[in-house]
Amino acid sequence: MSADQPQDGKPLPGPGREIRVVACEDQELMRQYLVSGLARVGITCVGVCDGLMLDAHLRQHSTDIVILDIGLPGEDGYSIATRLRQERPLLGIIMLTARDQTNDRVLGLDCGADLYFAKPVDIRELASALGSLHRRLSLTRPLPAPAQWRLDARRSCLMTPSGTEVALTDNEHRFLAPLLEEPGTVVDRDLLFQALEQIPDIYAVRRMETMLSRLRTKVLKASPEEPLPVRARHGRGYAFLSSAGEEPGQ
């Protein structure tokens, strides 16, 4: 029984988190060893046999780390690592090869590899390295920008953060446009009256409040989990907020 084979039939303790790994290895036995061995420690790994298959996989699937053999048919691992580091700077690259000379390791690292392992590799050690590299890469990746409300002027609709479309009347569009130009900032009521081409009197105030109430209802009907984040600043105007708990700025 190999050192990485569980003796009780249970998976060995692994990193315990989703890591999207691809092993590019032309030798079938070694490729299966990596795929099945990492599966036993809780890491899903896809195996490919050359650079062309690797490129095809990367185009179709999100990948965190590539385990890359050097002695591949066609484009070798050094060339692939150099190219991937330029094309995908946040991709993790682990070199795995039978070449264990210092010059080979230095060349692999110079080509963009994060880590270099000589064959045969212990699955537990490789899994630990994958987890450590994944944590380090996660700290350097920018957080995704939060989804935003936006106006589609061409289609005259309001897009919620989830992508729901809310059709707008001409006045609703005129009312929202100044608010979304400066989200979080109170837009003076008189500027909104100008946008609506209305005389700023008590009747115009009531019409605006009625229109906003109907618009809130329309948005909730279209997307119940996304209330319209427009907040009134009494006596001044309205602000479009990014969240319900945010307070209007000056």
pLDDT digits (tens), the chain, 250 positions: 343 443 333 433 444 458 899 999 999 999 999 999 999 999 999 999 999 999 999 988 889 999 999 989 999 999 999 999 888 888 999 998 876 667 777 787 788 889 989 888 999 999 999 999 998 888 766 655 556 888 888 888 999 988 899 999 999 999 999 998 888 888 988 899 999 988 878 888 899 999 999 999 999 999 998 999 998 877 788 999 864 333 444 4
What per-residue confidence (pLDDT) applies to 124?
Answer: 94
Q: Where are the domains of the chain?
A: 21-140, 150-240
Distance of alpha carbon 75 from alpha carbon 217, whole angstroms: 60
Architecture label for domain 21-140: 3-Layer(aba) Sandwich (3.40)
Domain 150-240 CATH class label? mainly alpha
Q: How many CB atoms lie within 10 A of CB 206?
A: 10
- C-alpha closest to that of 81 among 38, 51, 45: 51
What per-residue confidence (pLDDT) applies to 114?
Answer: 92
- C-alpha closest to that of 179 among 233, 245, 235: 233
Contact 14, 39 (CB under 8 A): no
Question: Does residue 194 sit in helix, strand or coil?
Answer: helix
**Measured between alpha carbons, how far is residue 81 from residues 116, 160, 212 in Å?**
12, 41, 56
Distance of alpha carbon 83 from alpha carbon 4, whole angstroms: 33
